[in-house]
Amino acid sequence: MIKAGIVGATGYAGAELVRLLYAHPEAEVRAVSSVSFEGQKLSDVYPAYSSLNDMVCENQNTVVETCDVVFAALPHGLSQELAAQCMVAGKAFIDLGADFRLESEDAYTEWYGGTFLDKELHAQSVYGLPELFRDTIKGKKLIANPGCYTTCSPLAIAPAIINGLVSTKGIICDCKSGVTGAGRKPAQGSHFPELNEGFHAYKVASHRHTPEIEQTLSRLSGERVTVTFVPHLLPVNRGILATVYADIKDGVTFEKIREAYEVCYGDEFFVRLLGDGKCADIHNVRYSNFCDISLHFDKRAGKLIACAAIDNMVKGAAGQAIQNMNIIFGLDEKTGLVIVPPAF
């Protein structure tokens, strides 16, 4: 059994790792840590885990010493020293935070206000979006696990970008997220009376996931890509719907675009390409590691409209992290992640 440890186990992403790993046939949670709840049982923080996981939250050193793989579900700026500790100890490290996602230190400083504490360590890290960069993940031990928006948006448009079917200029990523994406710490914007029966954009043209989306699309296209990214907050717990707009190049048919998506995602278990006339819906991916994609053609405007739906806590966080763990340890990627979304 793979011995897994979770640093930051009492946040939403950490708690989701506990839930998913409980059913994993080849891995088990051996240690958890939490600064806020150190010394307390995980099941006291989340009563849903009572009798299933009654582990006491310890310090992160115990997690590193005890486990083969360490998942870090921490705010940005807190993972770099822990990653270095894991590398010295020969442990795999999967970071669900932002510390290793950006290749450019200048971009990290601009968007997160931090620096690369160890440039050689950053050079060892790989970006863990399996459907697009699987071959770079194999054999590695330091994985930057993408976030929710930065998983959903690129998956929506990637085949069209890879095959040069749409312009890389003027791409718009219009996204809606459930409130769990804001984290567990209470805030005015996620307070029930403020959120319920409302719907609004936030951090318009200034969200920290913008450079990460651009980095992925630039890597796929081979040229610098700039996007307009606007996130919105939905009054629901889970889910992200990304609607991505791109101009179709002259002479490219919608049939050719659909064919490109079928080729790119035909063997991908976790990407479900929907038929013509259907629309991706967060309802249909809840609690699962699936990404549903629907394609739409605005003939009048000459635009591709690609919609992608994921559960932000699973494919957008914990599930994808486990998918990366499976790759690192040579398991089938689906191991422990074949979860049927509830139908209603």
From 57, 67, 148, 152, the catalytic residue: 148
**pLDDT tier at 181, thresholds 50, 70, 90:** confident
Q: What is the chain's mean pLDDT, rounded?
A: 96
Q: How confident is the model at residue 301 (pLDDT cuts 50, 70, 90)?
A: very high
Q: State how beta strands 303-310 and 291-298 pair.
A: antiparallel
**240, pLDDT greater than 90:** yes
224 confidence band (pLDDT: 50, 70, 90)? very high
Q: What fold, for 2-145+315-328?
A: Rossmann fold (3.40.50)
Q: What is the pTM of this model?
A: 0.96
Flag whether pLDDT at 165 surpasses 90: yes
Q: What is the pLDDT of residue 190?
A: 84
Whether residue 86 lies in the annotated active site: no
What pLDDT score was predicted for residue 84? 97
Domain ranges of the chain: 2-145+315-328, 149-311
Check whether 194 has a pLDDT greater than 90: no
pLDDT at 145 (0 to 100): 98
Average pLDDT over residues 213-241: 97
Give me 149's structure tokens.
């928006």
What CATH homologous superfamily does 149-311 map to? Dihydrodipicolinate Reductase; domain 2 (3.30.360.10)
CA–CA distances in Å: residue 132 to residues 15, 126, 162, 272, 334: 26, 12, 10, 15, 16
- The distance from CA 67 to its chain's CA centroid, rounded to whole angstroms, is 23
Asked if pLDDT for residue 341 goes beyond 90, the answer is yes
Q: How confident is the model at residue 176 (pLDDT cuts 50, 70, 90)?
A: very high
